Amino acid sequence: MSSPTVLLTGATGFLGSNVARALVDKKFNIIALCRQSSRLSRLSSVADKIKFFRLEETDLQSLFKENSIDAVIHCATDYGRQETLPSTVIEANLVLPLKLLQFGAEREISYFINTDTILDKGVNYYSLSKNQFKDWLKTYSLQMTCINVALEHFYGPGDDESKFVTWLIRSLLNNEKKIPLTQGIQKRDFIYIDDAVEAFMRIIERGSRHEKGFFSYEIASGQAVTIRDFVEEAKKITANTTTSLDFGVLPYRENEVMDSRVDLSAIKNLGWSSRTSLKEGLRLTVAFERSKIKG
């Protein structure tokens, strides 16, 4: 029996590259859809085992017709940072996956996995666009297995420098004089990247056996902490004794979620649970960032 072929978006990103390496380990055939500006450095160890297509140069309908694609895993996302236009966010988070969903349905793929966020749709353009696509996913669930995977705040070695955890650790390792923060009372559930990927692999394994319909999984460690506790733990692990943590100098963002509420029952039914403690995950991430500084 031939190995299944997966069309993976966002394969050059932090989450997507980790999922891609896990899929290669499991002998999946991978077609990676990425932008011309995407760098392949995160995939250097497995790039020869992946078939790449540039989004700007690819007719998506032809891509499905010319390749025997069994499933789509949509990890690409636009977080809407740095005053990104709503239309740009919608293109990545709604229009692109909707095209893949449509063409995948035409070719009768087995399943479609969408990467979603725990955030309420009212928080920002990013969360709104993600929730809008989820409604489309439900619409297509009469034709195929449609799986929505909502993630809490995942982190780990190699994440983007624009992400909160990486920015915080680098600031601490560089002994910045001050780090401006909110009061930090809001709670978040930080999940280490290896645990998040393991959850994905359980879902992918199950996806091939699901009947048609809509299935939803939420992924988190199950141990929410305040931002204040998280930042103070990171400072301790970096052995930083000089940086001032300026809690309260920044306002909470509009529509700030103050408490993380996640339902892990569905993913636990697949036999998954988070195995990496916050302290261990931070230790591994700090070690990675420190090694980059030493170069």
194-214 residue pLDDT tens? 999 999 999 998 877 778 999
Averaged pLDDT score across all residues of the chain: 93
Provide CB contacts within 8 A for 114, sequence distance 6+: 74, 97, 133, 134, 137, 146, 147, 148, 149
What is the per-residue pLDDT across 239-257, written as a single tens digit (0 to 9) for each?
999 999 999 999 998 888 8
Domains of the chain with bracketed CATH: 5-151 (3.40.50.720)
Determine the Cα–Cα distance for residues 119 and 134; give it in Å rounded to an integer. 13
* Mean pLDDT in residue range 34-48: 93
Helices (H), 35-81: 60-66
What is the per-residue pLDDT across 129-175, written as a single tens digit (0 to 9) for each?
888 999 999 999 999 999 999 999 999 999 998 899 999 999 999 99
Determine the Cα–Cα distance for residues 211 and 7; give it in Å rounded to an integer. 20
Count Cβ atoms below 10 Å from residue 176 Cβ, excluding itself: 15
Q: Say if residue 122's pLDDT is above 80.
A: no
Confidence of residue 56 (pLDDT cuts 50, 70, 90): very high
Confidence of residue 295 (pLDDT cuts 50, 70, 90): low
Check residue 180 and give its pLDDT: 97
Check residue 90 and give its pLDDT: 87
Check residue 260 and give its pLDDT: 81
* Higher pLDDT pick, 116 / 20: 20
Check residue 84 and give its pLDDT: 74
Check residue 1 and give its pLDDT: 56
Residue 3 has phi, psi (to 5 degrees) of -70, 145
Q: Say if residue 114's pLDDT is above 90.
A: yes
Q: Which stretches of the chain are assigned E, i.e. beta strand?
A: 5-9, 29-34, 50-54, 71-74, 111-117, 145-151, 153-155, 178-181, 187-188, 190-192, 213-219, 225-226, 244-247
Check residue 211 and give its pLDDT: 86
Q: Say if residue 119's pLDDT is above 70.
A: yes
* Mean pLDDT in residue range 223-228: 96
Check residue 265 and give its pLDDT: 97
Say whether pTM exceeds 0.85: yes
Confidence of residue 82 (pLDDT cuts 50, 70, 90): low
